[in-house]
Structure 1
Amino acid sequence: MQDINELLCDCLYFTANKLSRIMGKIAEEEFKITGISPTYAFLVTIVNKKEGASQKEIGEALHMTPSTITRFIDKLESKDLVKRKIDGKNSYIYSTEKGREVQTCIDKAWDNLYKRYSKKISCEEGNKIITELNEIIKRLEKE
């Protein structure tokens, strides 16, 4: 009979989720310096790079549902990191001064995260994994 760990580790779904949980834990620890989670930091970064990004654009970039993006924006508005402007049925998201200021801290957290996992896997190996995962994602999204 196959060992239970071997059984689980032979499953792409299980392995991908395990990696996600491990990386998520490390990222949460590194992002404590920002006062927001890594996912919120992605959203702030998107808005800082593209002022007036629509909620739809943000949702597509983060691969999240509109309701989740709305909750995230509500939370970031309450922290005064972004502001929302409504134009008809569309919402556009803009940076606040505080949101622009926190970007330096976000960038530092990303750098810390990269350095932390690079101690375990090389830059080349990390880049290879990212490339391979993105190729797999493209193929799976075509369904």
Structure 2
Amino acid sequence: MKTSESRYCKCMYFASGALARKMEKLAIDTWKKVGLSPSHAYLLMMVIDDPGIQPGTLASELQLSPSTVTRLIEKLEEKKLVVRTNEGKLTNVYPTPKGKDLLPKLKSCVAEFHDSYSAILGKEESARLVHNINKITDKLFP
């Protein structure tokens, strides 16, 4: 297996893609125990934190397309973890009691995921990396 020292290592597209794939694998392994993908889990936590949140706000906060958020919500509805209500043109998303009951396990997964990559990178480097990635993302797509 080649390391990051390959010919494309200085290309942000390939470097960020490689990082995303490795982080995705680590995240998926972490959230398996609750039977949700990381995206579903984070969306559910946001709905629990802000009952009645609108899909557009979820899309903006999670930096996902509205259609992706709709698919995530539909899957969570199938699992009876959230419900949508419509008030005129507004759609609101609420957690169900079953969804709320998952919160302690979801928070445990967040902590485990953080601990996993922090153990590899170090706590300071992890915090710095997350900060810098967010800064770069905001610069590229304000």
TM exceeding 0.5: yes
- Distance (Å, rounded) in 1 between the aligned partners of 2:100 and 2:137: 31
What is the aligned length?
139
Task: Answer with 23-32 or 66-75: which moved more.
Answer: 66-75
Secondary structure of 2:99's counterpart equals helix
Deviations 1:21-52 (A, max 9, x none): 00000110010111100100110000000010
User: Which residue identity is paired with 2:61?
Assistant: A
**Could you say what the CA RMSD is over the residues aligned between the two structures, in angstroms?**
1.3
Residue 9 of structure 1 aligns with which residue?
9
Q: Percent identity?
A: 32
Deviates more, 1:60-69 or 1:120-129: 60-69
Q: Which runs of 5+ in 1 are unaligned?
A: none
Normalising by structure 2, report the TM-score.
0.93
Counterpart for residue 61 of structure 1 = 61
Tell me which amino acid in the other structure corresponds to 1:137: T
Match of 2:137 in 1: 137
TM-score by length of 1: 0.93
What SS does the corresponding residue of 1:17 show, helix, strand or coil? helix
* Range moving further from structure 2, 96-105 or 63-72: 63-72
Deviations 1:79-112 (A, max 9, x none): 0110000112221000100110111111111111
**How many Å separate the matches in 2 of 1:129 and 1:63?**
18
Residue 141 of structure 1: CA displacement? 1.1
The residue that corresponds to 1:44 in the other structure is 44
Deviation at 1:121? 0.9
> Matched residue of 1:86: which SS?
strand
